[in-house]
Structures are given as structure tokens and as C-alpha cells.
Chains A and B, each alone.
Chain A
């Protein structure tokens, strides 16, 4: 009888223990799956950027994307994670958890997920700088982005995993999954990169008119865009860092915003009497995805759509604006990630559920966006300038003529039909 009473008394606790363990296990499975989806975004970036480049540079673009994951992941494990998520007493950067080992199970899961984010931030610049960047110089840049530029800003917003809090987080800055932390930062780095590099040979005429240099495979562009779209469900949905009921709204908002982004881009093209291009439509969707990333958990679906629609318009206008400045962004990364990310972060304040159009919140959002630019752009500008002087960032015009596949990697992506144009490789 006594035994039965003891069992009955312990049952609720056993049940609780079981449910806690189950919750951790479920969370882990979801975060790992979401992390894998974010990893898959690298394939999307590779296809999209490669498709938008000329065939003589296809291998080079893919190689840069591939190595972004490799370098970004290792450097983030060495220093990035500690800087971003370590104890953060000052609010400016973390000071513990470098080369993290012997963590709790859930911390490993979190580290894996965040590593994928870091790799994403790094790879944004590659497309903008395509077709005229030397491989080694680019990789040094990737190392510094994943080791310093991205995690320092990240610590200002998300740096409260262990102890302390980032200064922007303390202000109440909202950036749920990284419109600014990941995308705008990547976009500003890309902007610095294309300024230091200069445009591709012949991109602008003497009178300043921009010439179209079409990519070699628009099917890859569309496939890359769709893969990014799929990966974004993990990017935003996984940012709950838990398998909870809020994921439904988050992924729905993500999806609607992407769809509206393409419509926004097309509308902008129609309004300005420009042809409806596939590349702009795909970029519009990605702009919508970038835009909703900050507010996907704190916005109603109709506002998610509006955010995406405007983001799509921003993407098209931003690309035109850069061309007027004679800046050559091969894939439109600055516009898609930088400008749309900035808009999305503001939108997260404007359309904040329960506190819409709050001037105070919008102002905090503006501070966060401005801080991102003030930190990332000049540091990246200095970094690329130093790389250009010390190692060499801009490929020579002869290498540009021959294509970076040969000059940087000694191989080409399309040996069957490229034989008419390419030389026989370096001797």
C-alpha cells in the first residue's frame, strides 16, 4: 500500500521529467532541421550567383560560395561564437566561449544553428563582387567577416545567450532572425567590396550608361531563388530556437512576404516601364524574404505581405540607384540584402503587433539599422582596401578577359561549349 502511494505521488514528477526531456529533444530536432535548411541556402546562393554570372566565371562563383561555408564555419567556431554569444558585460562584444567545447547538449545545437547563420552573412558579398575578384583576397575578407564584422554586430542585438545583453537589445531593438544582423551587414560589406573593386571591364560606357551583362543560366537563377525560399523557412522558423506553436505564423509570414516581394518588384518595373525580367522577379522574392526576417514573429500576415511588397520595390529601385552611382553589383546583393534588410528592420517596428506605428519603436529600429551601417561599411571598406593593397583584390584585366575559372582555378564549368572562347589555361 505504501509503495502504491509513493508511486502515485511521484507520477506527476515523472511525467513532468518526461515532458521536459521530450521538449528538449523536440527542440533539438527542429533546430537541427532548421539549421540544415539554412545550410541548404548556400546551394541556393551558389546557383543564383553562378547563374547570374558569365559562364567563364561559373566555377569561381561556386568555389567562393563553397569556401564561405568552410571558412565561415571554422572561424565562427574559433572566435565568432564567443564574440557574439559569450558573456557580454559591456554590451559591445562577448568575452567568453571562444573555441567552445564541453557545452551542454542544447548549446551545441544552438552553436550549429548559429554557425549556419554566420556562413550566410559571409556569402552575401560574393555575388556582388563576382567576375573580377581574386580568390585569395576574397577568402581573407570572408575570414574577417565571419570572425569580426558579423559577430560583433550580432552581439549588440543577440548577445544575451549566456550573460549580459547587447546594447541594441537593451534599447528594445527588434530583429527576430536577422534582417539587419545577417542581411544588411552582409549587404554593407558587399557595398564596400564593390566600391574598392570598381566595375567590371566595360560595365559602364564613357558617358556613364550601364550596360547589361546577362548571366549565363537563368534556370539556375530561378532554381537558386526557390532553394533560398525553402531554406528561409528554416532561417526564420528556426530562429524561435524552440519547437513551439509560433512557427506556423512565422513561416506563413515568410512565405507571403516572398510572394509579395516578387509582385512588388514587377509592379515597380511596370511603373517605370522597364521589361519584366526573371532576375528582378527572383531578387524581388528574396528581398521580400530579407525584409520579413526581422518582423516575421511579431507581425500579422497582411503586414508581412505589405513589408514584402515594398521590399520588392526597394530591390528594383536600389539596383537602379547603384547603377546611377556607377557601382557594379553583379547579382543585386546590396539592394536585396542591404536596402531591403534596412527596410524590413524598420517595418518590424512600424507594423509591430500590439504597438503599431510607435514612433519610439521605429526610432530604436532606425538606430539599429544606422548602427549596422556605421559599423559594417567603414570596417569592410578598410578591410577590402587593405586586402587590395597587400594581397590584391581586383583581378587583372587579362584574367577578366580569360575568365576567373581559368585564371584562379585552372578549370572551367562548361568545357563542351566554352571551347570557342577560352584560352588553353596558364602554362
Chain B
């Protein structure tokens, strides 16, 4: 469907990468490595594999020679077939190392209003349909890179997603990034609980958030 952020082309590449990795790694390693490719390298030039190889060999402690992995991935990319398998669907979000640093305090009204809004929206959403929590988070997790957040901030956002809001959402997000993050939630929420319920929950959340004193400085409607 066109509304999927994951394009057909991207899905095709993901399958090829995964099948190449499966040819030389354990399945669990291949799944993790494919996730890393999706999150950090899927928008990079397809055949520029060196940074990706360095990242997974170091990050996942893989002992297979770099040249072998590269060869298998290239073979898979060059001989794509329709029978290539997709990585199995995840049943939980990857775990992130907890930061030792204390969560930075919210520095401005926009961040506070946005965080409060998202938290309320998600709580209401998961209360209305608890089965939708995981697929919605996975979608946002997989596509978080598309909103222009990178590096440590991206990791922190993913940590926030995987730890049910126990970690504060990053405070350095720009308005455009907030819009992007909300849009990811909106798409996924529409697909999982339908557009009518989604709009209702948004309306409820807006009403709550507008009672915050910070709402006089920053209107949540700015991110819609």
C-alpha cells in the first residue's frame, strides 16, 4: 500500500540483505544485522557495504570473515529472486543499553507539551486496544530514522519506545521532527485501530494537553 513508509523497493532490498546474511550467519545474528541495516543503512547507497559490515561485526561480535559476509550479501543482491524470504516478524522490540546519564530535564514548553501529548495519546491508544501496542511501536521503531533524527538521539528515541516511557523522550527534537514522529504514530495507529478511533483519541489527547500551562506558549496543533 502506498501509505506504507516501507516502499516495495526497500522491502526487496531488505529481503536480499537478509538472505545474504543468512547464508553465512546464524539466523538470530542475521535478523539483528538486518534490523541494523533497516535502521541505519537502508537509505545509504546500496552497494556501499563497508560501513554496514564494520557496524555489525563490531556491534554483534561476529566472527565470520568480513569478505565472506560481503560476498554473500553481494551475491544475494545481484541474484535477487521472488522466492527470497523476509526476516521473521518480531514479537518484541530490541533491548537497548540503559544510559547511566540522568535524563536531561525538559528544556522548553514545546518539548513538555509534545511529550505529554504523545504519552497520553499512547496510553489512551493502548488502553483502547492493547494488542495494537507492539505493532505500532515496531512500525515507529523501524521508521524512526526517516524523521531526520540520527546517532545518539535516534538511539534514545528507540530506548524511549522500548521502555514504555520510563526514559524521557529526547529534548532536542525540532518541531519538524516532532511532526514526523507524530505522523509515524498516526499512520500506524490508523492501520491498527482505524482512522476514526485514531482521530477520536487525538481529539481527547488535545483536550487534556491544552489544560497544561505550557500550552499557552506552544500549541500542540502546530505538530499536526
Contact = CB atoms under 8 A, between A and B. Distances in A.
Given A199-B1, A421-B202, A421-B203, A214 B196 contact: yes
> Is chain B's binding surface mostly helix, strand, loop or mixed?
helix
Interface residues of A, number: 26
Contacts of B195: 200-203, 211, 213
Given A212-B196, A422-B221, A201 B202 contact: no
Contacts of A402: 224
A202 B190 contact: yes
Nearest to B207: A420
Interface of B: 1-3, 5, 183, 186-187, 189-196, 198-199, 202-203, 206-207, 219, 221-224
Given A421-B202, A424-B221, A198 B3 contact: yes
A397 B183 contact: yes
Given A211-B196, A402-B224, A424-B221, A201 B187 contact: yes
Interface string A383-427: 000000000001001101110000000000000000111111000
Contact of B206 (A198, A205, A420): A420
Contacts, number: 65
A200 B186 CA distance: 13
Contacts of A398: 183
A423 B5 CA distance: 22
B185 to A, nearest CB: 10
Interface of A: 54, 197-203, 205-206, 211-214, 394, 397-398, 400-402, 419-424
Q: Which of A214, A398, A402 counts the most chain B CB atoms within 10 A? A: A398
Q: Which of B5, B196, B202 counts the most chain A CB atoms within 10 A? A: B196
A203 B192 CA distance: 10
A198 B2 contact: yes
A419 B203 CA distance: 10
A423 B207 CA distance: 14
Contacts of A214: 196
Q: Which of B194, B196, B206 counts the most chain A CB atoms within 10 A? A: B194
A202 B199 CA distance: 12
B196 A420 contact: no
Contacts of B186: 397, 401
A213 B195 CA distance: 7
30 contacts: A54-B199, A198-B1, A198-B2, A198-B3, A199-B1, A200-B195, A201-B3, A201-B191, A202-B189, A202-B192, A202-B194, A202-B195, A211-B194, A212-B196, A214-B196, A394-B2, A397-B3, A398-B183, A401-B186, A419-B221, A420-B203, A420-B206, A420-B207, A421-B199, A421-B206, A422-B224, A423-B224, A424-B219, A424-B221, A424-B222
B98 to A, nearest CB: 32
Nearest to B186: A401
Contacts of B191: 201-202, 205-206
Nearest to B195: A202
A423 B221 contact: yes
A409 B198 CA distance: 24
Contacts of A212: 196
Given A202-B189, A422-B224, A424-B219, 17 more contacts: A200-B195, A201-B195, A202-B190, A202-B192, A202-B195, A205-B192, A211-B195, A213-B195, A398-B183, A400-B3, A401-B183, A419-B221, A420-B207, A421-B203, A421-B224, A422-B221, A424-B221
Nearest to B224: A423
A401 B196 contact: no
Contacts of A401: 183, 186-187, 224
A265 B90 CA distance: 45
Closest 9 CB pairs of A and B: A202-B190, A423-B224, A211-B194, A202-B195, A201-B190, A397-B3, A198-B2, A401-B186, A201-B3
Nearest to A201: B190
A422 to B, nearest CB: 7
Nearest to B5: A397
A213 B219 CA distance: 28
Contacts of B1: 198-199
A205 B198 CA distance: 13
Contacts of A197: 2
Nearest to B198: A202
A54 B196 CA distance: 10
Contacts of B5: 397
Q: Which of B187, B202, B222 counts the most chain A CB atoms within 10 A? A: B187
Nearest to B188: A202
B51 to A, nearest CB: 30
B194 to A, nearest CB: 4
A2 B5 CA distance: 95
A339 B146 CA distance: 43
Contacts of B187: 201, 397, 401
A214 B199 CA distance: 12
A419 B202 CA distance: 12
A423 B178 CA distance: 13
Q: Which of B189, B198, B203, B224 counts the most chain A CB atoms within 10 A? A: B224
A427 B64 CA distance: 52
A402 B179 CA distance: 11
A120 to B, nearest CB: 30
A423 to B, nearest CB: 4
Contacts of A202: 189-195, 198
Nearest to A199: B1
A401 B207 CA distance: 18
Contacts of B207: 420
